Amino acid sequence: MKIQIINGPNLNLLGLREPGIYGSQRFEEYLTELRNIYSIIEIDYFQSNVEGELINKLHEVGFSYDGIVINGGAYTHTSVAIADAIAGIKTPVVEVHISNIYAREEFRHVSLTGKNCKGVLTGFGMDGYRLAIESLLKLQQ
């Protein structure tokens, strides 16, 4: 099984940026934990601050991988193009948000991309990525 994790803008700063909201762990550290937990799964990781690069990655893996976990960051609330890319691929996508987007600024309460995903996890911290992988595993059964 192959799963692609895609993180959007500013998520390269996890562990440094606003630790009160996003925690103090770097994503690369957490990724090592995920790969240890799910050693029988190939977990690939991609991060970009550029909308078009996120779309290109969705197109690249969206017909050959078994699942995609995406945290689109702020693009979640603004990008019709990423929403369309998710709608256009065959691979199931689960959206993740580290913080509870509904407990934050009102503009974050709307996810343009979530409607095209199999599910949305919000507010579980980094553990949301693990929960997303678990949900993708259940889809394969």
Is 65 one of the annotated active-site residues of the chain?
no
Residue 114's CB is within 10 A of a number of other CB atoms, namely 21
Measure the CA–CA gap between 24 and 9, rounded to whole angstroms: 17
Catalytic residue among 30, 65, 75, 97: 97
Could you give the angle at the alpha carbon of 84 between the alpha carbons of 109 and 9, nearest 5°?
A: 55
8 A C-beta contact, residue 26 and residue 15: yes
8 A C-beta contact, residue 139 and residue 3: no
Catalytic residue among 22, 30, 65, 75: 22
Is 22 one of the annotated active-site residues of the chain?
yes
By annotation, the residues acting in catalysis are: 22, 97
